[in-house]
Every structure is written in C-alpha cells, then in structure tokens.
Amino acid sequence: MKSTSHLRRFASIGVILAAGIAFSSMAQAAGPEIVAGPGADPECFKPGSADTKYFQWPAKKGPYRIALANGFIANDWRVQMIRVAKAYAEQPGVKEDIKEFKVISVGEDIAAQIAAVNNFIDQGFDAVIVNANNTAAFGGVVKKANEAGVVLLSFDNVIDDPMNIQINVDQKGLGRLAGEYLLKEIKPDASKLLFVRGPAGQPVDIARAEGFNESLAASGRKFDVTEVVGNWAPGDAQKVTADAIAAGGMFDGIYVEGGSHGSATAMLDAGKFVVPMSGETENGFRMICNDKGLKCSSGGTGPAQSSVTIKTAIAALKGEKIPAVIALPTSISYTPFKEGVDVFPALAASFFAGNNFEACKIGFTAEEIAAQSGDNN
C-alpha cells in the first residue's frame, strides 16, 4: 500500500502535468505567430510599409465559417459593401472554401458590435471581419479572438490594435487629395469652402478631415471653412448643403466625403454659384459632373474592400503568411469621367465605382451585386 505522502506526490505531479497541458494549449491558441516576410500573394496583400510585420496562423482544414460584424449601415456605401461581400462569398473558387458566411449590422452602438463579435467567437466561427464603430474599443475582443485561435480582421474603420489584420486605403491621403484638387481648381483669391463631413466620431471621417485640413494649411493661404455633417448619405448631404447656401453661404469650392450627388444637386438647385467639387465615387455624382460640365474629383474607398478582406481571411486560415497591415490602392478620377470605366449611366445613382481589385483577381458585374441584399442573414 502506497503511503499518503507518496499519493500526494503523484497528485501534485498530475496537477502540474495538467497545468502544463493547459498552458501549452493556451500558448498554441494565443494568436498568430509573428514571422518574417514575404507573405502570400504580395500583389494583392501588399504590406502597409517596409516595417509591416507578418502573421501566420496554424493551417485549418476548410471549408470555413466566416462572419462580418458591421456597425453603421445607414448609407449606400455600407449597403453595397455588404452586397459585394455576399456576392464574393458565392463566386466559384471562393464558395468552396466557405461553409457559412454570416453578416450582421448593429447600427452605431459600440457595445452591440463588441457583443456581436464576441458571440461569433463563442459560436466557433473561424474568422471574424469587423468594420469598427470605434477603433479603440476592441482591445478585449482582439485578445479573446487570439486566445480562441480565431482570425480577426478589420477594414475601412480598422481596429487600433496591432494584433489584428488591418486592411484599408489611405483615408487621410484621400482627404489630402480632395483638398489639393480644390486648391488647384479654385481661383487664387478664393477663401470660402464648404466641407460636408461624415458621421461624427467615425474614424474615416476624422482621418479624411485631417488630410483635407492639412492640405489647406500647407498651401499657406487662409480659408474660411464651413463644416456640416452629411452622414455620407445623399439625402442628408443635400439638405445640409442647401441649408448652408440658404444661410448666405457663397462658396468657392466644396468637399463632400460621401453623398456627393446630394451636395451637387443642392448647389445646382440653389442657382447661386457653380464651383469645383471633390467627392466620393458615387455613380450619381460622376453623372452630374459630366452632364453639367462641373469640375470634379471623385475618389474614395471601394465597397469591394470587403471582398479583399474575405480573401485575406481564407488565406490566413489556410496557414499563409499575411501582412498585419494591408494597403489597398487609392482610387481617384477626374472629370470628364469615362463611360463604362469611371461612370455608368445605365446604373443607379447610388452605385459606387471601384468594385474591382485587379491585383487580387477580384471583380464583379453589376448584376452580381444587385442580386444580393444589404440585410443581416
């Protein structure tokens, strides 16, 4: 018969071994390994800078469960972004890798979006994609995803945490280009500008405003800038632009972050002036600029970046090396816009150009996108 002390010693060893196994499992599921580049498909997954680190998760056998947790939904860009994501998930060569693609939009509620991501992690999804309502609020979510071995990716409004994959265009650069275009096109003595911004507090709005204001400051000229909030929606943008003009505003140039055709319509309806405009990539804006002979720049973030994010998630789940920060190309065009390339008269005004990423071999027909809904599924 073994002594009590001998039994206690075996028990202690058992506890240590169990703890060691648990610790080992936690270590294996503590997120991606940071590895040296180059990574997979460098033409598509272009690193944000020369200093960008690379992630590598253990390869998983597919097909995969992938979720998209969107926040703000109340504009055409977000609706098209979701439609494009759903269309991409059904394309040949992609659908074979996806067991389930789930989409939820929660509005502007930060806590609801965090809860949605946590729920997807708890449900065992392999990858979760986020367009964040608040980029600084997701640190706990990133930690939880990495501990669970879930690939977490963010795009457009990217999560401000170095341990998730961030996919975006240079939003600040887009604001800067918009300002530089107006500086080039307005008269040398012009000083009054109208700036139609996006939803207050949204990171994209903040970044574009920084770029726009920096371009004006760099010119060395003094400007009187009237700021209004158009929420990236044509109806809202039209109303606030009309109100600003009705209040006596005589502007020399207009920058609209989104809902650009609404602001252009308000300017033309007022009949007081016609000035250069910088706007987003809405088809309606480009049609108005061409039809009315306006001087316009049109640049932005293509809704199809959601499809690039899905492609990235699949590559990461297959064990490929992926840059922690992926830089998408900036798309900007100028009047006159070329039909069939930059502008599509047969399509709706709400349609956004920029749905093809040739470097990623991603492309869509208008019919593919229109066949999808922007609703939760």
pLDDT at 353: 84
pLDDT average, residue stretch 296-318? 95
pLDDT tens, 69-83?
Answer: 999 887 889 999 999
| Domain's final residue, options 279, 300, 321 | 300
**134 belongs to a structural domain:** yes
pLDDT at 373: 92
Residue 12 scores a pLDDT above 70: no
Verify that 116 and 265 share a domain, yes or no: no
pLDDT at 29: 54
Verify that 239 and 282 share a domain, yes or no: yes
Q: Which range of residues forms the domain containing residue 318?
A: 33-169+303-329+359-370
**336 belongs to a structural domain:** no
Q: How many domains does the chain have?
A: 2
**6 belongs to a structural domain:** no
Percent of the chain with pLDDT over 70: 92
Verify that 311 and 165 share a domain, yes or no: yes
Greater confidence, 187 or 17?
187
pLDDT tens, 92-121?
Answer: 999 999 999 999 999 999 999 999 999 999
Strand 296-300 and strand 331-334: pairing? antiparallel
Residue 18 scores a pLDDT above 70: no
**250 belongs to a structural domain:** yes
Verify that 164 and 180 share a domain, yes or no: no
Query: Mean pLDDT in the chain?
Result: 90
Verify that 293 and 308 share a domain, yes or no: no
Verify that 187 and 161 share a domain, yes or no: no
| Domain's final residue, options 251, 282, 300 | 300
- pTM, two decimals, is 0.82
Residue 16 scores a pLDDT above 80: no
Verify that 133 and 153 share a domain, yes or no: yes
pLDDT tens, 212-247?
Answer: 999 999 999 999 999 999 999 999 999 999 999 999
Verify that 310 and 265 share a domain, yes or no: no
The 3-class secondary structure across the chain, one letter per residue, is: CCCHHHHHHHHHHHHHHHHHHHHHHHHHCCCCEEECCCCCCCCCCCECCCCCCEEECCCCCCCEEEEEEECCCCCHHHHHHHHHHHHHHCCCCCHHHEEEEEEEECCCCHHHHHHHHHHHHHCCCCEEEEECCCCCCCHHHHHHHHHCCCEEEEECCCCCCCCCEEEECCHHHHHHHHHHHHHHHCCCCCCEEEEEECCCCCHHHHHHHHHHHHHHHHCCCCCEEEEEECCCCHHHHHHHHHHHHHCCCCCCEEEECCCHHHHHHHHHHHCCCCCCEEECCEHHHHHHHHHHCCCEEEEECCCCHHHHHHHHHHHHHCCCCEECEEECCCEEEECCCCECCCECCCCCCCCECCCCEHHHCECCCHHHHHCCCCCCC
**106 belongs to a structural domain:** yes
CATH number (domain holding residue 83): 3.40.50.2300
Verify that 193 and 97 share a domain, yes or no: no
Verify that 164 and 218 share a domain, yes or no: no
**341 belongs to a structural domain:** no
Verify that 80 and 182 share a domain, yes or no: no
Verify that 307 and 165 share a domain, yes or no: yes
**353 belongs to a structural domain:** no
Residue 366 scores a pLDDT above 90: no
pLDDT at 367: 86
**323 DSSP β-pair partners:** 54
pLDDT tens, 32-54?
Answer: 999 999 999 999 999 999 999 99
**75 belongs to a structural domain:** yes
